[in-house]
Structure 1
Amino acid sequence: MKKLISLLICAILCVPPGASAAEKPQISAQSYVLYCPQDKSVVLSREPEKRMKPASTTKLMTTLLTLEAAQNENKTVEFTAEMEAEGSSMYLKHGEKLKLSDLAAGMMMCSGNDAANAAAITIGKTKEGFAGLMNQRAKQLCMKNTHFVTPSGLDDDNHYSTALDLAKLMAAGLENPAFARLTAQKSARVSFESPGNKTAEYNNHNKLLRLDPRCVGGKTGYTVAAGRCLVSAARQNGLTLICVTLNDKNDWNDHTALYDAGFSSLSAYAPEDLSLKIPCAGGERDEITAVCQSAEPIILGGGESGRVRRVIKTEEFVYAPVNKGAKVGSVEYYLDGRLIKKQSLNARDEVKIQKVKVGLWQKIKEFFNYG
């Protein structure tokens, strides 16, 4: 009996942790977060809302605003003395001219403080004016513990952010196609408008793009006061994760370790497009097409996506008229018998009531019986 109890205790102790709880690796960052933008959840963290100096990860915001401005009007910028900056640079010279989108490349690739200043002054008239735009967007993104002062991220006592806020910022950037393409590049070539024969190629400081094939972008940062800062994003099997480490001497390895933990503990089930026919009574057509568009992936524990069951619920037939977009059923997703998502099935097209054709003899009868 004692042996049986011992075996049961051993079995309980040996059960692995829940699929949704990632096992924490040893991370050297003062503050970090592993964030899933698809369901806005924190997977792993240490003091994710601690206000810290973000260094050049600030340029995620500057780059995003610059690319948005360039999409409206990709202005030509002439580099001037007021745009000069200390620190990392794309080495712009007075009088050189290039597009806003090229300044964005200079920020994302080589962390150019000069590019950040040039974009900020062009878009916001002054660096202070641009900081106002940065803080306005931060508020829109619910970055509750962030305040920007400089477009480059150079240290200022009133310039701060958090690991969680920077993860939200990176998530917003990935939703912008131009930003997502740029941050994923290992290098970028810039063609200057003046001098017209000048081109320059800049390598991306984000070494994780070369070290980890799952990485789809990010931004480095460093000052003596901030330490090494890194924001990155990775994607695997339909699941996207964002990692932020602040003041971390071992950031490359820590990001890989956090992604290993996250991707092993989570999975994504992607609902597919669905189209089916439902009989229709009394309509101009004898059936309707019901559709359900694919939705955002459902984030589950590791290995759980293979246990998802889809159930389609509709009536045997519908009656005309049917309006376009009308709900005609539902699609439900179950994990081990538990409902985890429900979507509507909607009519793709309108179906009108069929008009009854009246014969000649019926029309004559109706004429003489009228009144």
Structure 2
Amino acid sequence: MQKMISTFVALCLLFSLFPSTIIQAEEKASSEIVNSAESAILMEKNSGMTLYDKDSDKKLPPASMTKVMTLLLIMEELDKGNIKLEDTIRISEHAASMGGSQIFLEAGEEMNVEDLLKGIAVASGNDASVAMAEHIAGSEKTFVDQMNQKAKDLGLKNTHFENPTGLPAKGHYSTAHDMAVMARELLLHDEVTNYTKIYDDYLRKGQKNEFWLVNTNKLIKSYPGMDGLKTGYTSEAKYCLTASAQRDDMHMIAVVMGAENPKKRNADVTSLLDYGFGQYKGVKLYSKDDILQTMNVTRGEPRKIDLSPEKDVVVLQKKRDKENQYETEVKVANKSDLPLEKGAHMGWVIVKKGDEEVAKVRLETSEQVEQAGFLPLWQRSWRNLTSFQRF
């Protein structure tokens, strides 16, 4: 009997070691994810959750990852209709003079917005970046002011730009965390990955100065689900990459800064993404097109408008964890100034697990709402009056 008790106690002690062993193994694995980069972060785009962090608030030169913000402002202008892909831009001497990575634009040359966009997204063209900056804002300096204002709007306190290219400049810095937030905002513009995931293409096809574009991010070709975003290198910044990859209901953003060489940079990014996709799963609660609320717009035409999330509402959980119970709260703005554009921000979808907020996504209008004219307003008033009288 005593022998049986001793055996039972020994087994209990043995099994009690397993949880701590598992935790220690996870901590060890987590600490070994990034080996070369000076700073790194892994963020899930849909939920905004940070899954890994290594000195992600450390200010460092971002090199050409700067162009994530440049691309963001370009995509916003396209969405607003202020510029079009087919618009032709005449290249200035200043833009053509840019050194570093380029698509070899010449002063006086004309190129459309879409080709310049490819030149930035695929070949990291500094000349293309400045050409677009001048076209959008009138001057490179004014465009840089807009970049810094956008960083402020996004709540990025550790980022400051001096140019739209990432060429070395005093006071030009960012962090892995801030780059991930910028990337997350850029990826709200779905069309951008049509360019950032291009591995190779041609500019000036069939002309004497035909130029072969080859993506500076080689993981586009080798890592499953990779669709961008931007590499960077200067002797000061070393090797950097803001990467984006999608699988199932998850969209991972990995940022590494200050790696020793391209091979180690790519290894760190691959390790980060493998960790994210291997350890976590996405649980989609709502799709982008789901109608979560119908709002009455008293003086609007139409009078009722459907509200949907601006993107899929996805929460993350570890694969080995049990299914969680989530509570969803839909908060709609009290007032609306007319007219309302399609996609206007009209509130939030907030998802909680207990007291913890695990997802927050904007609610958007499904169509445009104009100010109703005199006749529709009179008819509504008359219907309300007659309905009241019948009651």
Short-chain TM bin: 0.7 to 0.9
Q: Which residue of 2 aligns with 1:60?
A: 68
The question of 1:242 aligning with 2:253 is answered yes
Q: Structure 1 residues 10 and 35, CA, compared in 2 at 3 Å: closer, same or farther?
A: same
1:294-305, aligned counterparts within 5 Å?
Answer: 296-304=313-321
| Alignment check: 8 A CA contact 1:22 1:261 kept | no
Which of 31, 56, 62 is equivalent to 1:48? 56
State the Cα distance separating 1:199 from its structure 2 match: 5.0
Q: Partners of 2:268 and 2:55 in 1: how far apart? A: 16
TM-score by length of 2: 0.69
Q: Structure 1 residues 196 and 187, CA, compared in 2 at 3 Å: closer, same or farther?
A: closer
Q: Structure 1 residues 197 and 339, CA, compared in 2 at 3 Å: closer, same or farther?
A: closer
The alignment partner of 2:221 has SS state of helix
Q: Which residue of 2 aligns with 1:225?
A: 236
Deviations 1:322-368 (A, max 9, x none): xxxxxxxxxxx9999x99899xxxxxxxxxxxx9xxxxxxxxxxxxx
| Alignment check: 8 A CA contact 1:21 1:43 kept | no
Q: Which residue of 2 aligns with 1:34?
A: 42
TM-score by length of 1: 0.72
Deviations 1:118-150 (A, max 9, x none): 111222222111110111111122222100111
Q: Which residue of 2 aligns with 1:285?
A: none
Q: Structure 1 residues 303 and 27, CA, compared in 2 at 3 Å: closer, same or farther?
A: same
1:201-216, aligned counterparts within 5 Å?
Answer: 201-216=212-227
Q: Partners of 2:234 and 2:357 in 1: how far apart? A: 48
The question of 1:23 aligning with 2:30 is answered yes
Q: Partners of 1:341 and 1:156 in 2: how far apart? A: 37
Deviations 1:262-285 (A, max 9, x none): 12221111125799xxxxxxxxxx
How many equivalent residue pairs?
308
The answer to which of 156-165 and 57-66 deviates more is 57-66
Gaps of 5+ in 1: 276-290, 312-332, 343-354, 356-371
State the Cα distance separating 1:68 from its structure 2 match: 2.9
AA in 2 matched with 1:298: V
Q: Structure 1 residues 341 and 61, CA, compared in 2 at 3 Å: closer, same or farther?
A: closer
Q: Partners of 2:38 and 2:60 in 1: how far apart? A: 9
The question of 1:72 aligning with 2:88 is answered no
The alignment partner of 1:98 has SS state of strand
Q: Which has the larger radius of gyration?
A: 1
RMSD in angstroms over aligned alpha carbons? 3.7
Deviations 1:32-76 (A, max 9, x none): 111122222221111101111000000111122223334422332
Q: Quick one: percent identity of the two aligned structures?
A: 28
Q: Partners of 1:340 and 1:32 in 2: how far apart? A: 22
The alignment partner of 1:136 has SS state of helix
State the Cα distance separating 1:79 from its structure 2 match: 1.5
Q: Which residue of 2 aligns with 1:131?
A: 144
The alignment partner of 2:246 has SS state of strand
Gaps of 5+ in 2: 1-5, 292-306, 328-350, 361-386
